[in-house]
Structure 1
Amino acid sequence: MPDAVKARMIAVPDALLHPYTDLQPPFPGGLSGVHDGDIGRHKRHGKPADCPPPQVDGPVATLPGRYMYGGPLFIHYGHFITESLGRLWGLSPADETYGPVDGVVFLPLTKLEIAGADDLRAYMTRTFEYLGLAPDRLVFPSAPVRVESLIVPEQGCGLGMPSLPAFRRFVAARRREKHSPHKYVYVSRENYLHKASLLGESLLAARLAAAGFFILRPEEYPIAEQVDILASADVLVFAEGSALHTMLLVPDYRGRVYIVRRRNNAQHFRPQLQGLGIDVREFDATVMLPQLFGQARWGHAMTDIRMVLHCLRLELGLDIDVPQRRDCIDAVEADLLRYIDLARTADGLRRDNIEPFLAAVEVTGFAMPAFRQAYARHIMPRRA
């Protein structure tokens, strides 16, 4: 997005806010009665995704003072980074059109029962602190509330949207000087086999590590260290996932980014990365597998690990050891067996996905005897 674009900000007296009762579009909740170019609406892919309710009848508590509107509060890491931080650019001294504020009001999902900063997950608190926002300045109403004076900045970033220059300036100003020595970084999802991952990813990570890549498992590092590692690298290779959204906090990155995809949802990431001017190249997933338990979006994927490593070897000029096909089969088999072991004890086994899962595995040629035996021993008894 060109830097000539000017982010907007308005002041709303006696503003009425409703906590969100759902964070799936259309979101019921939000800021009522503001129609100034939809500036108060929460957007995805450039379009409003919420449905602010009408004025409420009866008495409503009032929050005295001047506060800034932060929008919905997500607890999922990727959505939190992408959809809950976009209005914080209004805290920048250069953009404090209406003067300083007493705090920031976020609207959490009502069922999460977030009443204060102590209820936040640790990564959320650290991210707010990294961006210069002390936890004691955060307000999370659990019921409709009127705010004496509410400053509403335009949403500076969002799912499937390029970020605004004002947001990029704000986050760039928070970053320390680069100190990480790692020039080649692989961002891993190896610890997320229970949710969604690339089967056989440990082999991919091991071969990259042997070639000099630093393996970044984001959940093991505070946000400031993650940003430093990402910003300092010349080449980033991501196993596609929420960690890609962290690039919103590295707005001036000029290295190369490779994405090993596991889903056909490039529309979520590509506009963000291209809006940052990042050179992005993608490796498509070979096969996507249905999830045997948990949410549907937690499905796993298989990719051609040999092809990915061969392409990186040629593009980067590194001595990457490309594995034999048998090595790939062994790595995928190991993850399949681990996954079945998780499904064996998991609540909510998705029986309707069992046959599609088996069919997808069969197509790949990875239906090994050990996998069949594990399936028969652990999954079949639960289908009765």
Structure 2
Amino acid sequence: MTLRLQYFDDVPIMPYTRLLGGGSPHEGGPVWPDWERQTTARHCRKGQPCDHPPIILPIEDILAEPVAWAGPIVPHFGHQLAEFSLRILPTLAEWPDAVFAFAANPPRKITSLATAPGFFREILAWFGVAPERTRVLVKPTLAARLRVAPQAEQLGRIGPAPDYLDLLDTLTRKRLGRPGRRGRLYVSRAGQSARFAGERYLETALAAAGVAVFRPERVALAQQLRRYAVAEHVIFAEGSALHGTQLLGRALGRVSVLCRRPSSRLAEVFVQARAQSLEYLDCGAQLIYGLDATGRIADSRALTVLDEALLLDRLEWLGIPLRRYWDSAQYQAACADDIREWLVSFAQSPRLAVPGSRERILACLAACGFAALAPAIDAPTPPIR
């Protein structure tokens, strides 16, 4: 894949009307000329454009200065990195002083850098893009001179080309130096709603076994990346934190991923290109989930119940003597507490009233061996922990 910029004149840019939902990854942004024949300028997955033509509204503003198209700003950390921040570094390689244009996303109330998620501003800082070099376009705007780089990676198992990794290597050395690797690091999701049942107990046992435990959402992005780069072995609870590694070059040592979903290989091609080795650990994951407002399976918000014996076997295989510090009764009690908490939270959302949602949850509880906890779905308030 060539990372060279394309140049366009007089391109209308529309605010987003759909983004990461509604049957399309997005609907908004530049109205590229000869739309059907555009590929690299449009948003792609699996090597093919997957966006819809923007809804064209009357132009209300003109952007006379040359700008580079960067994409939308979204509230989801993983998608921002895996899909919508991949034109920035290739642009800077050819145009170091680039000014970047982002289209606003009014339905999600993201209309400026001030209303963007904090992690987005940290991504810009990692790339060295100062706030004054960004334009968040709130109105339908005509860009007099628009430049665009291709996405350097894509969802759909299209990983980074060597020249993009070279750019990332240079950036990573500039930001982190050449840190030596030492120790094991567990990247936890225990502070998230979609996590492993009993994960807080797992954190305690891993710490007792000498593994550093880390919740990435508690620290700045640059510190997250440093922690990944200095660890000899990083063990991720499968989730969006994996996409943070896409800001690094070939900086990772051994990487293991505890799967939250059966047969999952989240971010595999992205991480594999950056790590000395990569393995996904299947610990018999079973999910507890309901339905979303449209009646679809809401497994992205699921709680994961692991097979305890498989979990211990997999971690022992990694060289972590977890059984020495493990109490099965405490782990099972921690799992039950988390399941009750999840059920109460789900019961307080409109999703419980979706036809079939309650039945789906009850079936999941039975499959996981926690059918006795079903009454918690009718609890009026969360349990006191």
TM-score range, shorter chain: 0.7 to 0.9
Q: 1:58 Cα deviation (Å)?
A: 5.0
- Per-residue CA shift, 1:130-166, capped at 9, x if unaligned? 2101122211112321112111111112323312344
4+ residue segments displaced more than 6 Å: 292-295
CA distance in 1, matches of 2:57, 2:343: 52
Contact 2:187 2:216 in 1 (8 A): yes
CA distance in 2, matches of 1:312, 1:68: 46
Residue 342 of structure 1 is matched in structure 2 by 345
Matching of residue 7 in structure 1 with residue 3 in structure 2: yes
- Per-residue CA shift, 1:36-60, capped at 9, x if unaligned? 7512111123221212348x57555
Q: Which runs of 5+ in 1 are unaligned?
A: 380-384
Contact 2:344 2:379 in 1 (8 A): no
Which residue of 185, 209, 228 corresponds with 1:230?
A: 228
Residue 376 of structure 2 is matched in structure 1 by 374
Contact 1:30 1:41 in 2 (8 A): no
- Per-residue CA shift, 1:258-304, capped at 9, x if unaligned? 11112247354222223435522112342111137789221111112
CA distance in 2, matches of 1:87, 1:232: 27
Matching of residue 124 in structure 1 with residue 120 in structure 2: yes
Contact 2:255 2:278 in 1 (8 A): yes
SS at match of 2:280: strand
CA distance in 1, matches of 2:322, 2:335: 23
Residue 382 of structure 1 is matched in structure 2 by none
Q: 1:327 Cα deviation (Å)?
A: 3.5
CA distance in 2, matches of 1:292, 1:332: 22
Matched letter for residue 376 of structure 2: A
Residue 29 of structure 2 is matched in structure 1 by 30
How many residues are treated as equivalent by the alignment? 366
- Per-residue CA shift, 1:165-193, capped at 9, x if unaligned? 44433333333125587621111111112
CA RMSD of aligned residues (A): 2.8
The 1:258/1:83 distance shift into structure 2, 3 A limit, reads same
SS at match of 2:176: coil
Contact 1:256 1:280 in 2 (8 A): yes
Matching of residue 173 in structure 1 with residue 170 in structure 2: yes
Residue 82 of structure 2 is matched in structure 1 by 82
CA distance in 2, matches of 1:53, 1:293: 26
Q: Normalized against structure 2, the TM-score is what?
A: 0.85
CA distance in 2, matches of 1:42, 1:26: 8
Matched letter for residue 336 of structure 1: I
Bigger shift: residues 241-250 or 203-212: 203-212
The 1:357/1:57 distance shift into structure 2, 3 A limit, reads closer
Q: Which runs of 5+ in 2 are unaligned?
A: none
Matching of residue 315 in structure 1 with residue 301 in structure 2: no
SS at match of 2:159: coil
Matching of residue 216 in structure 1 with residue 218 in structure 2: no
- Per-residue CA shift, 1:206-230, capped at 9, x if unaligned? 2111111111101101011000000
Bigger shift: residues 107-116 or 7-16: 107-116
Residue 366 of structure 2 is matched in structure 1 by 362
CA distance in 1, matches of 2:310, 2:263: 21
Give runs of aligned pairs for residues 121-200 of structure 1, distance below 5 A.
121-160=117-156, 161-174=158-171, 175-177=175-177, 183-193=183-193, 196-200=194-198
